[in-house]
Structure 1
Amino acid sequence: MCNRRCPKNVINCTHVSAVKAGEDEFEVFKKNTDGVDFRTVHWIRASVIFLKVIFATGVLSIPTAMYQLGAVGGALSVIGWGALNTYTAILQGNFRNRHPNCHSIADMAAVIGGPILREIVGVLFVLAYVLCAGSGILGVSIGLNALSNHAACTVWWSFLATVVVIAAASVRKFQQIGWLTWAGFLSIFIAVFVVVIGVTVRSRPAAAPATGPYDLGFHAIAYPNFVNGMVGSATIFVSSAGTSAFLPVISEMRTPAHYSRAVYLCMAIVQSSYLAFALVVYRWCGKYVANPSLASAGGTIKKVAFGIGLIGLIVSGCLYLHVAAKYVFVRILRNTRHLQHNTAIHWGVWLGCTIGLGSVAFILAEAIPIFNYIVALTGSVCFAPIAIALPGALWLYDFRGSVKSKSPIEQTKYWFHVFLILLGAFFCVAGTYGTAELIKDAYASGAIGSAFSCADNSNSS
């Protein structure tokens, strides 16, 4: 039964407000099948997967953004963006459970805007998580350089990281990589905790002058120019904006209706950790905070932190690549028997997705080899449209009748979701401009050498 508002020939246009979200008939992956059962993820494990998707890149990049925005501005940005990203994550999950044969954010876009919007959002979704996978590969290469004192060309370390990430991402089901998410989250959490302790026991930041007076660069309130302000804000925004990666996990949950529980648990842990870790590191390091922040406490602690956190960086890249590959995989094989059967086509398409997208992530990581810039670019170009604007449009599609309501509360809800669309559009344009300007300046100043450079990216040598 297709809702009359849905575009013709859109396979997932079914509006099922009268259908329970967990009914197998409307799910992408069926429980009642003689093939592979993908529906095995409990909500607790889903929450851990969400934690690992969100936590790694954000906690490594926020302290640098704090320097650009100041402690007060940075803290308010963490709280504000965290709350907004939590809300839009719930919007996406609720929409998906009202339209349960949506597997991804692109499927949702098809419901409200037809095949053209679906293709645009699908490209943005894949690009976002390929860029995120690239940030994971870049983080691993920095870690390997730090641990080895730059014993090999950085391109070689990046290639080795890519091979490991592709191999881990090629495990087919979220349930099967569940143990990796636990290990990855604990790895990054402990590594950051070590850095927090390390910076507080030093008399001065590791990167500050060894003797004499110095300017810490700590500001409660900073006054950044437009470009730095937008890039700092984009960096904090993207730290919790990857909520569209949650949606494919819903399709593999035992009970999709429990999605909200997993989101609230994940976001509560993530945002409190971000705020505490980032403020402490910025307070003690100021403008001398490293990029990524695991290198902020000096050579010895840097090696300890990267040694502990290396697993987490690998798992981050693995999950981002898995999410992008799973979207393409389902898109190609959906409504065929190969989707849930161990055929040669099934495995060929799946491995082709992970290897192909992993290779693109490697190229992007080498083209934009500054961690914060690749993170900020991901937020501006990709996540602003799909994590702010599109969720607002999803709500308006299902509840657009509220504009005719005489209730002030309903009117406020309506115009708030219109505002989300405008905010997403502004942030996409302004954030992309700001990040592009800083990348251009970095190339001009020599901060970025050349693509596929062998130069040390960890400042170890």
Structure 2
Amino acid sequence: MGRHDDSYVSSEAHEDPKDSYSPAHSTNEEVFGSEANNDIKYRTLSWPMVSVLMIAEIVSNGMLSLPSSLAVVGIVPGVIIIVFLGVFATYTSWLLVQFKLRHPQVHTMGDAGFILFGPIGREILSFGTVCFAIFACGGQLLAGQIALAALSDNKLCLMLYTGIFAIPTLLCSLPRTFHGLGWFSVASVFSILIAGIVGMAAAGAHPVEGREVDITLSSDFVTAFTSITNPVFSFAGHFMFFVLISEMKQPKDAMKAAYVLQGFATSYYTIFAAVTYAFLGSKVASPSFSSLDPYWQKVAYGIALPNFLLAGSLYAHTASKLIFVRIFRNTEHVGSHTTLGWGVWVFLVIVCNAAAFVLAVGVPIFNYLIGIAAAMFAAWFTYGVAGMFWLHDSYHDGHGTSAWSRRPFQAALSFATIILGAFICIAGLYISIVGIKAGYASGAIPKAFAC
């Protein structure tokens, strides 16, 4: 990972001319500035609360697809991939945190894109953040749909279940600060933790007779990489890190929250995937709760519902906040209870949630589009762009590329993150397109707004 030194995060270090966000924003100004006289105070989060928010956002419905990944590649390669990705995500978390400490004016990936690539970078990464957040919210709405359908024995049209779940998701997105979602996130973490334990216990109590559990399996590239994307994107929550750290009382403690997140996610993912696959075998469904005994399936989904709800709310909240702060940054509308500020905030929350709902129920290939959005943006946010952060700052702090040669191991890791991000992006796009073609060819893709 390389030695951490104070010059790396010092705000006094040499600045690239592109580092000033705009003429209206001081280079090293905190996102929310001084809040002493504000009605709404954003910088109130402790690092334990940030770790809970991170876990609530990342450890969610994605983990329910992990047992099916092991069914494709085998239990040993699957576990190795999960652990490797967890360790690597910890490293890229460190890179993001260091970049944020050095550039406190960065609120989102769009702000970081401006520092790296100028105005074009800002717009591309801002669009990617909003796009992925809305798609991720839609994914949580579909998880809620599946859970409600299981709980009620599919008595209603699936689109109605999605609409029912969308309403509380919207309401939970409305608080202006992450602190307003903090205690909900505590319940969310307990929800997914207990649901996973219940799911594993139920699988153990009612294992699949004659199941096949393989140590390792060979497969073609498309099938294998499709399964690998499940653990890859289960760690894809870095796009929210800058937004969360911006609301911390002590941003320098952000890495503590990241360690808690990655430690919990990696260990929990590994145990849940291995145990569930061991008892349910090669035919395990995705989501895995759908392979449980009908009674326990309902229990597990019922317990997991608060997590799906809060994760969807966090995504919609993040998309709304990026746009809101972009519009009103350095104005009274951010920190005061103004009519215009609240009106625009509520409007943005409604629009982002509505977009997620319409995409989830109105686009037949929505599940594939989530994969495309994850490949195009989440792969870079979690892996690739983090390496660019270190290379950029070390280049401008030192003497150009000679700064990289002085720390070859760190430079090599940074380039490796970029290469990995590019590979995941290209391969992820390829398998998504192949999946869409195969889905239409087999007639598996339903009509828009279908029940």
Amino acid aligned to 2:18: P
1:169 to 173, 180, 184: 173
Please say which of residues 271-280 and 419-428 is displaced more in the overlay: 419-428
Q: TM-score, normalised by structure 1?
A: 0.89
Separation in structure 1 between the aligned mates of residue 164 and residue 440 of structure 2, nearest angstrom: 25
Query: In the alignment, is residue 309 of structure 1 matched against residue 307 of structure 2?
Result: no
Separation in structure 1 between the aligned mates of residue 373 and residue 316 of structure 2, nearest angstrom: 14
Separation in structure 2 between the aligned mates of residue 244 and residue 77 of structure 1, nearest angstrom: 21
Separation in structure 2 between the aligned mates of residue 81 and residue 322 of structure 1, nearest angstrom: 27
Amino acid aligned to 1:437: V
Aligned to 1:337: 332
Aligned residues of 1:3 and 1:14 also touching (Cα < 8 A): no
1:350 to 345, 350, 353: 345
* SS in structure 2 of the partner of residue 176 of structure 1: helix
**Deviation of residue 374 (structure 1)?**
5.9
Query: In the alignment, is residue 183 of structure 1 matched against residue 170 of structure 2?
Result: no
* SS in structure 2 of the partner of residue 34 of structure 1: coil
Aligned to 2:135: 131
**Deviation of residue 323 (structure 1)?**
1.4
2:30 to 23, 26, 32: 26
Aligned residues of 1:237 and 1:379 also touching (Cα < 8 A): no
**Deviation of residue 366 (structure 1)?**
2.2
- Identity across matched positions, percent: 31
Superposition pairs for residues 39-58 of structure 1, below 5 Å?
39-58=43-62
Aligned residues of 2:63 and 2:231 also touching (Cα < 8 A): no
Aligned to 1:223: 218
Aligned residues of 1:85 and 1:240 also touching (Cα < 8 A): yes
Separation in structure 2 between the aligned mates of residue 154 and residue 449 of structure 1, nearest angstrom: 12
Query: In the alignment, is residue 290 of structure 1 matched against residue 288 of structure 2?
Result: no
* SS in structure 2 of the partner of residue 177 of structure 1: helix
Query: In the alignment, is residue 5 of structure 1 matched against residue 16 of structure 2?
Result: yes
* SS in structure 2 of the partner of residue 7 of structure 1: helix
Aligned residues of 1:231 and 1:376 also touching (Cα < 8 A): no
Separation in structure 1 between the aligned mates of residue 92 and residue 328 of structure 2, nearest angstrom: 29
Aligned to 2:444: 447
**Deviation of residue 369 (structure 1)?**
6.6
Report the CA distance shift for 1:378/1:86 in structure 2 as closer, same or farther (over 3 A). Answer: farther
Separation in structure 2 between the aligned mates of residue 10 and residue 385 of structure 1, nearest angstrom: 21
Amino acid aligned to 1:52: A
* SS in structure 2 of the partner of residue 218 of structure 1: coil
Aligned to 2:84: 80
Separation in structure 2 between the aligned mates of residue 140 and residue 328 of structure 1, nearest angstrom: 26
**Deviation of residue 73 (structure 1)?**
1.6
Aligned to 2:265: 270
Aligned residues of 1:106 and 1:119 also touching (Cα < 8 A): yes
Query: In the alignment, is residue 157 of structure 1 matched against residue 157 of structure 2?
Result: no
Amino acid aligned to 2:123: E
1:393 to 381, 388, 392: 388
Please say which of residues 228-237 and 176-185 is displaced more in the overlay: 228-237
Gaps of 5+ in 1: 17-24, 206-213, 455-461
Query: In the alignment, is residue 422 of structure 1 matched against residue 419 of structure 2?
Result: yes
Aligned residues of 1:235 and 1:375 also touching (Cα < 8 A): no
**Deviation of residue 440 (structure 1)?**
2.9
Superposition pairs for residues 428-443 of structure 1, below 5 Å?
428-443=425-440
Separation in structure 2 between the aligned mates of residue 440 and residue 367 of structure 1, nearest angstrom: 19
Deviation string 1:15-40 (CA, Å, 9 cap, x unpaired) is: 65xxxxxxxx5343533233311111
Aligned residues of 1:138 and 1:158 also touching (Cα < 8 A): yes
Aligned residues of 2:97 and 2:255 also touching (Cα < 8 A): yes
**Deviation of residue 397 (structure 1)?**
0.6
Separation in structure 2 between the aligned mates of residue 222 and residue 35 of structure 1, nearest angstrom: 58
Deviation string 1:264-287 (CA, Å, 9 cap, x unpaired) is: 011111110000000011111122
Aligned to 1:200: 204
Amino acid aligned to 1:99: H
Equivalenced residues, count = 436
**Deviation of residue 405 (structure 1)?**
5.0
Aligned residues of 1:218 and 1:282 also touching (Cα < 8 A): yes
Aligned residues of 2:243 and 2:318 also touching (Cα < 8 A): yes
* SS in structure 2 of the partner of residue 33 of structure 1: coil
Query: In the alignment, is residue 404 of structure 1 matched against residue 408 of structure 2?
Result: no
Report the CA distance shift for 1:111/1:2 in structure 2 as closer, same or farther (over 3 A). Answer: farther
Q: TM-score, normalised by structure 2?
A: 0.91
Separation in structure 2 between the aligned mates of residue 370 and residue 307 of structure 1, nearest angstrom: 27
Query: In the alignment, is residue 60 of structure 1 matched against residue 57 of structure 2?
Result: no
Report the CA distance shift for 1:63/1:347 in structure 2 as closer, same or farther (over 3 A). Answer: same
Separation in structure 2 between the aligned mates of residue 413 and residue 299 of structure 1, nearest angstrom: 50
* SS in structure 1 of the partner of residue 60 of structure 2: helix
Separation in structure 2 between the aligned mates of residue 174 and residue 30 of structure 1, nearest angstrom: 18
Amino acid aligned to 2:199: V
Alignment RMSD: 2.2
Aligned residues of 2:21 and 2:27 also touching (Cα < 8 A): no
Report the CA distance shift for 1:370/1:57 in structure 2 as closer, same or farther (over 3 A). Answer: farther
Please say which of residues 44-53 and 82-91 is displaced more in the overlay: 82-91
* SS in structure 1 of the partner of residue 105 of structure 2: coil
Separation in structure 1 between the aligned mates of residue 170 and residue 129 of structure 2, nearest angstrom: 18
